[in-house]
């Protein structure tokens, strides 16, 4: 049961709530909600903060302490309002809203638009779904938009004290695009890049092992590269590229090859700003990481866009120059049942570790 707060308590002689209790607000014409209690039992709720169709007051009636008829307002674990609708004790549908709509309530006092969810086989078919993630010093709220049972696009809100930033994802036929829409702020800091920017990830095979990544600013292509995945036992082609090491879901070491980089010389021209576009940070981050796989039909971990620890970068990549020689980073080799690590700096091996178990690799390079 929601822990409701009221302007004034009304109690019977037994100290139980009894009568009509109200909560007022500086929004919504002063009244937020009113609830009717009988000897400590909640019988009916009337909520004025939201509107469904022509229903300007959402009434919900309880029976034996359970929702029975009408609309019932609550908040989920992310403090986003949800409205469930019941008929004769049977759940019918749910409504919720977006972060942007809630922000507009504070600025305008206008009730937020509520979005209806429909289900098939107990799975979301049409509507929106919120997911929360914790990050260092902030949090990430993902709002997934569903159509015909699949995710079409996602709002990603980075939230911290007195700070909110929105980036978006839309799904493509063979991949996805991460983008920011840009800001029209003529009075803002001229050193801050507010132009729209995007990162497109397109897979070229059904296993999502091969593909390309491109980075654009204001719809102009700035940089791109290709990638391919392989396991540690596969033969390595010693050509100019970057190798990224990672752990698979089944606890094996994978390699992501990144090669055919183009356009990096354009960055200085395209970024004359001291305060860079956030999307540039995401693109640079992605260069040193395995390519995240986001699909319209799975439970996506959107933190993979933001997970970036500089202290572990040198341990999980290897740069090979145009002559096919290791230049900088770490080279991992499988030796029968153990592993060998060679650390390169400016073409020279500066550290070697051998006879390492798989758990040693995980502890040294991927966990610490």
**Which DSSP string corresponds to 102-114?**
HHHHHHH-PPPPP
Report d(CA 2, CA 295) in Å as an integer: 35
Q: Rounded CA gap, 138 and 130, in Å?
A: 17
Cα dihedral sign, 353-354-359-361: positive
Kindly report, residue by residue over 226-239, the tens digit of the pLDDT.
999 998 888 889 99
Q: Which secondary-structure segment (H or E) carries 317?
A: strand 317-320
Q: What is the pLDDT of residue 362?
A: 82
47-52 average pLDDT score: 93
Inform me whether the pLDDT recorded for 44 exceeds 60.
yes
Q: Is the pLDDT of residue 1 over 50?
A: no
The pLDDT value given to residue 231? 87
Indicate if the pLDDT at residue 153 is higher than 50.
yes
Handedness of CA 216, 205, 366, 335 (dihedral sign): negative
Q: What's the pLDDT at 313?
A: 60
Q: Count the Cβ atoms, other than its own, within 10 Å of residue 23.
A: 17
Q: How crowded is residue 277: how many other Cβ atoms within 10 Å of its Cβ?
A: 20
Both tokens of residue 230? 């392989």
Cβ count within 10 A of residue 355: 10
What phi and psi, each to the nearest 5 degrees, are found at residue 313?
Answer: -60, -50
Average pLDDT, the chain: 88
Measure the CA–CA gap between 213 and 223, rounded to whole angstroms. 8
**Contacts made by residues 271-274, CB under 8 angstroms, sequence distance 24+:** 271/193, 273/191, 273/192, 273/193, 274/191
Query: pTM value?
Result: 0.86
**What stretch of H or E contains 360?**
helix 358-361
Vertex 281: Cα angle to 158 and 274 (nearest 5) = 105
Which of 231, 227, 236 has the alpha carbon at shortest distance from 246?
231
Which of these, 184, 247, 254, 257, lies nearest to 225 by C-alpha position?
257
What distance in Å separates the CA atoms of residue 142 and residue 151, rounded to the nearest whole number?
12
pLDDT one-digit tens code per residue, 108-143 = 888 899 999 999 998 999 999 999 998 888 899 999
- Please state the rounded mean pLDDT for residues 195-200: 93
> pLDDT by residue (tens digit) across 169-197?
999 999 999 999 987 776 667 777 788 99
Looking at residue 340, its pLDDT comes to 92
Q: How far apart are CA 360 and CA 350, in angstroms?
A: 19
> Is pLDDT at 103 greater than 80 in this prediction?
yes
């Amino acid at each position: 049961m929601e822990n409701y707060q009221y302007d004034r308590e009304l109690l019977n002689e037994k100290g139980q709530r009894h009568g009509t209790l109200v909560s007022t607000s500086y929004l919504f014409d002063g009244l937020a909600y009113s609830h009717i209690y009988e000897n400590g039992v909640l019988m009916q709720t009337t909520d004025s903060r939201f509107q469904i169709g022509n229903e300007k007051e959402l009434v919900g009636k309880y029976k034996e302490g359970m929702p029975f008829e009408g609309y019932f307002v609550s908040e989920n674990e992310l403090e986003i309002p949800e409205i469930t609708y019941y008929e004769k004790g049977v759940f019918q549908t749910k409504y919720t809203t977006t972060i942007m709509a809630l922000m507009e309530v504070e600025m305008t006092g206008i009730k937020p638009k509520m979005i209806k969810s429909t289900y098939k086989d107990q799975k979301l078919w049409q509507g929106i779904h919120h997911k929360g993630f914790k990050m260092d010093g902030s949090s990430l709220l993902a709002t997934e938009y569903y159509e015909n049972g699949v995710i079409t696009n996602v709002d990603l809100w980075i939230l911290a004290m007195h700070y909110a930033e929105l980036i978006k994802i839309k799904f493509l036929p063979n991949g996805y695009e991460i983008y920011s829409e840009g800001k029209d702020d003529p009075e803002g800091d001229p050193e801050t890049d507010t132009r729209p920017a995007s990162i497109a990830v397109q897979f070229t095979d059904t296993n999502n092992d091969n593909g390309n990544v491109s980075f654009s600013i204001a719809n102009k292509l700035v940089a791109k590269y290709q990638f391919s995945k392989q396991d540690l036992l596969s033969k390595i082609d010693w050509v100019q590229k970057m190798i990224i090491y990672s752990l698979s879901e089944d606890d094996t070491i994978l390699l992501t090859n990144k090669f055919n980089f183009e356009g990096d010389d354009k960055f200085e021209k395209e970024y004359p700003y001291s305060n860079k576009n956030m999307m540039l940070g995401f693109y640079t981050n992605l260069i040193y990481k395995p390519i995240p796989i986001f699909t319209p039909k799975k439970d996506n971990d959107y933190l993979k866009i933001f997970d970036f620890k500089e202290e572990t970068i040198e341990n999980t990549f290897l740069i090979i120059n145009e002559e096919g020689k290791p230049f900088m980073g770490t080279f991992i080799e499988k030796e029968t049942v153990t592993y060998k690590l060679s650390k390169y700096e400016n073409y020279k091996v500066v550290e070697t570790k051998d006879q390492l178990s798989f758990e040693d690799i995980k502890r040294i390079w991927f966990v610490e």
